[in-house]
């Protein structure tokens, strides 16, 4: 009997898993995860994310084992794995979800597709997150997304007949994978149980003021959904998250709980926006390295100052909210949307760094990194999409706005804990005597700003204006907006 190999990638679950559900209905299933060394050697990879994935895989293996068939784990290239499967099973079929990823993944998938063609192996792929291949038109895409999210979820298989044990036992799965080793002592735990608990606590307690709390770093860690790592790795499906949120919304509507209704509507819009970014990456697969709007080519590519980049990535720029955001990301593997945008805007504009290296650094640090979301967001904040008027955020103004009481800054930047409110957001303005009194001498205990913000912002605006006056292509603007400018609100 033909074995169906279910290839797990960013879909590490058994519930609402189309390939697993359909494969189990056909006959024996070999659930497979391949830790590809070349994938984890890419410049966006980090050990902290592997630790999260490994925890999730261990729990997934336990779940599959209870169904009768443990997870097959292999640490090799996908082509070597396919050759092994062919020698083990003879004729087999390959089932997986579609994948929207970096160019390395696209090339690997093409190689796999060609191998399957040569060897007579059927490879079936299922859509994920409402993303369409070859999508045309915003209205069609939005309708398809709504339809996808309204469809019944695939149930978990009741049993899986044993076809064999994994070539590698869980006790010898690699604990490190050769990626960026920056430790992350306070990251979220992997696994379905942790994801389910986060969703439950968010919809029943933590999320009441999400519409407000998620915007501010001091409250986002508790008031945000904290589901992004689980969605990024498919530990819980987007459809399940949407449907559970909609049920909660109905409940709060019936109770006339205005804050809850506002919060869950805001959350649903964020989930929709997540798929929008994924569709954008699907349609423009070069976004990990190429400007979406081609008129921005040549703007920053050849002006990269390593010293500024090092200060930014180490949280030593001298701008408190910028530094606090980076230090929090290093420690937790997560920061909210507003801080990610601020970090990226500051790097691209005031520091005038091409967005590619900063984007890779943020990817390595983020437990919830999904390239299909990350790179469209990166380009949005770097201002290279051409869909919106470019906004250069003032780090001091944003510091006052996002952390007015300084709770987040003081928690992440220990040198600033005793600095008074009057100078916390711009500590270089402190009189020297007050620096001594607060135990924070600028240039000694906390860095001097690496740039003059006003001058750097002015220069960035001038450079951008001059570049676009010379190179802006209105036809390219029309192309980008027609292809990607979708509504971010649900009807």
Query: Pick the residue with more confidence: 491 or 65?
Result: 65
| CA quadruple 22, 23, 25, 26: dihedral, nearest 10 | 120
CA–CA distance, 370 with 128 (Å, rounded to integer): 13
pLDDT in tens, 194-244: 999 999 999 999 999 999 999 999 999 999 999 999 999 999 999 999 999
Does residue 123 register a pLDDT over 80? yes
Does residue 87 register a pLDDT over 80? yes
Does residue 391 register a pLDDT over 90? no
Structure confidence at residue 136 (pLDDT): 66
Percent of the chain beyond pLDDT 70?
A: 98
CA–CA distance, 313 with 343 (Å, rounded to integer): 9
pLDDT in tens, 15-73: 999 999 999 999 999 999 999 999 999 999 999 999 999 999 999 999 999 999 999 99
End-to-end CA distance of the chain: 48
Q: How confident is the model at residue 301 (pLDDT cuts 50, 70, 90)?
A: confident
Does residue 490 register a pLDDT over 60? no
Which DSSP letter does residue 155 get?
P
CA atoms within 13 A on the CB side of 93: 19
Structure confidence at residue 131 (pLDDT): 93
Structure confidence at residue 179 (pLDDT): 96
Average pLDDT value for residue range 434-447: 97
H-run or E-run covering 16: none
CA–CA distance, 52 with 367 (Å, rounded to integer): 7
Q: By mean pLDDT, which of 38-47, 309-318, 473-482 is the weakest? A: 473-482
Spatial neighbors of 253 by CB under 8 A, at least 6 apart, are 261
Average pLDDT value for residue range 163-184: 94
Q: By mean pLDDT, which of 99-103, 291-295, 393-397, 481-485 is the weakest? A: 481-485
Does residue 491 register a pLDDT over 60? no
Does residue 485 register a pLDDT over 90? no
**DSSP secondary structure letters along 249-307:** HHHHHHHT-HHHHHHHHHHHHHHHHHHHHHHHHHH-GGGGTS-SSGGGTTSSTT---HH
CA–CA distance, 195 with 215 (Å, rounded to integer): 22
pTM listed for this prediction: 0.96
Does residue 312 register a pLDDT over 70? yes
- Nearest Cα neighbor of 410 from 434, 435, 440 is 440
Average pLDDT value for residue range 103-118: 98
Structure confidence at residue 386 (pLDDT): 87
Q: How confident is the model at residue 489 (pLDDT cuts 50, 70, 90)?
A: low
Does residue 362 register a pLDDT over 90? yes
Does residue 100 register a pLDDT over 90? yes
Edge-to-edge strand list for the sheet holding 123-126: 72-74, 29-34, 3-8, 92-97, 123-126
Q: Across the chain, what does the average pLDDT equal? A: 95
Spatial neighbors of 147 by CB under 8 A, at least 6 apart, are none
Which DSSP letter does residue 188 get?
P
Specify whether the CB–CB gap between 359 and 375 falls below 8 A.
yes
Q: What are the counts of helices (DSSP H) followed by strands (DSSP E) for the chain?
A: 23, 5
Spatial neighbors of 109 by CB under 8 A, at least 6 apart, are 99
């Amino acid at each position: 009997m033909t074995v169906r190999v279910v290839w797990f990638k960013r879909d590490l679950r058994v519930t609402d898993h189309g390939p697993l559900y359909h494969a189990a209905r056909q006959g024996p299933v070999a659930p497979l995860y391949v830790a590809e060394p070349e994938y984890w050697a890419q410049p966006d990879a980090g050990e902290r994310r592997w630790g999260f994935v490994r925890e999730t895989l261990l729990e997934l293996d336990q779940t599959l084992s209870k169904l009768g068939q443990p997870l097959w784990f292999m640490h090799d290239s996908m082509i070597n794995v396919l050759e092994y499967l062919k020698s083990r099973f003879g004729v087999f079929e390959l089932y997986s979800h579609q994948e929207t990823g970096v160019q390395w993944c696209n090339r690997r998938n093409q190689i796999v597709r060609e191998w399957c063609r040569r060897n007579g192996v059927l490879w079936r792929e299922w859509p994920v997150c409402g993303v369409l291949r070859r999508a045309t038109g915003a209205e069609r895409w939005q309708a398809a997304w709504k339809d996808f999210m309204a469809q019944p979820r695939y149930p978990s298989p009741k049993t899986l007949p044993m076809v064999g044990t994994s070539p590698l036992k869980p006790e010898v799965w690699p604990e490190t994978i050769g990626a960026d080793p920056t430790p992350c002592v306070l990251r979220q735990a992997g696994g379905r149980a942790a994801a389910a608990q986060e969703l439950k606590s968010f919809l029943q307690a933590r999320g009441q003021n999400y519409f407000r709390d998620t915007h501010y770093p001091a409250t986002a860690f508790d008031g945000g959904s904290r589901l992004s790592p689980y969605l990024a790795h498919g530990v819980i499906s987007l459809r399940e998250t949407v449907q559970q949120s909609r049920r909660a919304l109905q409940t709060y509507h019936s109770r006339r709980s205005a804050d809850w209704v506002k919060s869950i509507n805001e959350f649903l819009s964020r989930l929709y926006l997540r798929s929008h970014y994924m569709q954008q990456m699907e349609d423009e697969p070069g976004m990990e390295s190429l400007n979406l709007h081609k008129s921005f080519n040549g703007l920053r590519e050849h002006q990269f100052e390593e010293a500024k980049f090092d200060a930014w990535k180490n949280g030593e720029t001298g701008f408190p909210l910028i530094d606090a955001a980076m230090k929090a990301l290093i420690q937790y593997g997560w920061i909210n949307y507003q801080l990610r945008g601020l970090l990226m805007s500051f790097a691209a504009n005031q520091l005038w760094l091409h967005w590619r290296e900063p984007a890779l650094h943020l990817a390595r640090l983020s437990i919830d990194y999904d390239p299909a979301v990350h790179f469209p967001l990166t380009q949005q904040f770097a201002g290279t999409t051409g869909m919106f008027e470019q906004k250069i955020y003032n780090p001091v103004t944003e510091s006052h706005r996002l952390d007015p009481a300084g709770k987040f800054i003081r928690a992440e930047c220990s040198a600033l804990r005793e600095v008074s409110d009057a100078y916390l957001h711009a500590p270089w303005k402190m009189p020297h005597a007050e620096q001594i009194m607060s135990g924070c001498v600028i240039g000694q205990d906390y860095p001097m700003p690496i740039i003059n913000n006003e001058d750097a912002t002015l220069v960035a605006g001038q450079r951008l204006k001059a570049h676009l006056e010379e190179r802006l292509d209105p036809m390219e603007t029309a192309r980008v907006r027609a292809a990607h400018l979708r509504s971010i609100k649900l009807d």
